[in-house]
């Protein structure tokens, strides 16, 4: 019997996170952190971007939904649910939930669930977030994902969704510089023998495939789709989470050439024009409001 394409996508995504994405790499992080810039020079900027999520979530309540919680991988993520009695972690990866439990224990409720078919009643949550999760849904279920987040959100409360745009005009302006810097860095690393990639070792009990996947399904949408399709059904506001991509950070931001100051300026600009940078930058922060 053949598996429908959409189900097969979800099976692959789950397999990827169980076997690769949420495997620990050394003491510091998960394999998934490979897609983030963890260098000290970018730390302050990334930390400040993480804290933006807090501004748009009600500070307290009984239940907060973290849809596609992963393992609650960054310390800032713990702050989001501090004022809540329970943080409900819903994820299709059981490894994500095991790791999340190790982090927040009894404050968490852990549910293997699909964000496009949430097993919760209407208006059950006073706070809802889905950070980098919807992008893993098959294209045909994108809208359903947003509808589900809206359905389970309590009246007068807000949900926060963060994803990456398919393409960012702002980042495209910097492509030639990134391209050049990437090649210069490549030469520099070859000469100095420095490598920054994280290598993952999959423990034997989680190796149930001959060849573990190296990447997984991601589909990204654009502003027109979000405003047209989602905006027609619910109140949304596009703000900025982070306007620059990880590639931008890794290629153009360096301590010795004033990288930290450059990022301070970028953050300052983002704060002045959050809608502009959310729309044209790399990562929007979408606030869903329920009247």
| Interface characters, 143-162, with ligand SAM (x: CB under 6 A) | --------------------
Of 15, 19, 42, 73, the one binding ligand SAM (CB under 6 A) is: 73
Applying CB under 6 A, does 138 fall inside the site for ligand SAM?
no
Of 15, 37, 46, 68, the one binding ligand SAM (CB under 6 A) is: 68
| Interface characters, 96-135, with ligand SAM (x: CB under 6 A) | x-----------------xxx--------------xxx--
CB nearer ligand SAM, residue 161 or residue 181:
161
Shortest separation between residue 108's beta carbon and ligand SAM, angstroms = 14
Shortest separation between residue 21's beta carbon and ligand SAM, angstroms = 6
What is the total count of residues that contact ligand SAM (CB under 6 A)?
19
The secondary structure of 7-25, three-state, reads HHHHHHHHHHHHHHHCCEE
Applying CB under 6 A, does 137 fall inside the site for ligand SAM?
yes
Of 42, 84, 87, 91, the one binding ligand SAM (CB under 6 A) is: 91
| Region of 63-71, 166-174, 189-197, 225-233 interacting with ligand SAM (CB under 6 A) | 63-71
Applying CB under 6 A, does 164 fall inside the site for ligand SAM?
no
Of 17, 80, 84, 248, the one binding ligand SAM (CB under 6 A) is: 17
Give me the half-sphere count of Cα atoms (radius 13 Å) on the Cβ side of residue 260.
8
Applying CB under 6 A, does 70 fall inside the site for ligand SAM?
yes
CB nearer ligand SAM, residue 215 or residue 275:
215
Applying CB under 6 A, does 136 fall inside the site for ligand SAM?
yes
The secondary structure of the chain, three-state, reads CCCCHHHHHHHHHHHHHHHHHCCEECCCEEHHHHHCCCCHHHHHHHHHHHHHHHHCCCCEEEEEEEECCCCCCCHHHHHCCCEEEEEEEEECCHHHHHHHHHHHHHHEEEEECECCECCCCCCCECEEEEECCHHHCCHHHHHHHHHHHHHHECCCCEEEEECCCCCCHHHHHHHHHHHHHHHHHHHHHHHHCCCCCCCCCCCHHHCCCCCCCCCCCCCCCCHHHHHHHHCCCCEEEEEEEECCCHHHHHHHCCHHHCHHHHHHHHHHHHHHCHHHHHHHCCEEEEEEECC
Binding residues for ligand SAM, per CB under 6 A?
10, 13, 17, 68-70, 73, 91-93, 96, 114-116, 131-133, 136-137
């Amino acid at each position: 019997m053949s598996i429908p394409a959409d189900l097969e996508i979800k099976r692959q995504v789950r397999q990827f996170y169980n076997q690769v994405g949420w495997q620990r790499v050394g003491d510091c992080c998960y394999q998934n952190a490979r897609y983030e810039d963890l260098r000290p020079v970018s730390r302050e900027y990334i930390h400040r971007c993480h804290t933006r999520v807090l501004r748009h979530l009600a500070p307290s309540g009984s239940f907060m939904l973290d849809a596609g919680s992963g393992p609650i991988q960054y310390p800032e993520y713990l702050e989001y649910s501090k004022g809540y009695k329970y943080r409900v972690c819903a994820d299709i990866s059981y490894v994500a939930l095991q790791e999340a439990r190790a982090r927040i224990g009894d404050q968490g409720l852990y549910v293997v669930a699909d964000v496009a078919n949430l097993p919760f009643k209407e208006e059950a949550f006073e706070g809802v977030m889905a950070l980098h999760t919807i992008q893993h849904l098959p294209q045909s279920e994108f809208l359903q994902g947003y509808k589900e987040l809206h359905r389970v959100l309590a009246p007068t409360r807000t949900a926060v969704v963060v994803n990456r745009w398919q393409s960012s005009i702002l980042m495209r302006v910097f492509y030639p510089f990134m391209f050049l810097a990437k090649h210069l860095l490549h030469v520099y690393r070859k000469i100095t023998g420095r490598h920054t990639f994280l290598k993952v070792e999959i423990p034997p009990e989680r190796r149930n495939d001959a060849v573990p996947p190296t990447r997984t399904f991601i589909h990204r949408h654009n502003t027109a789709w979000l405003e047209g399709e989602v905006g027609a059904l619910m109140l949304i506001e596009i703000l900025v989470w982070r306007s620059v991509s990880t590639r931008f950070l890794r290629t153009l931001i360096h301590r010795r050439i004033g990288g930290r100051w450059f990022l301070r300026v970028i953050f300052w600009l983002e704060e002045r024009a959050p809608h502009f940078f959310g729309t044209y930058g790399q990562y929007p922060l979408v606030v869903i409001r329920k009247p």
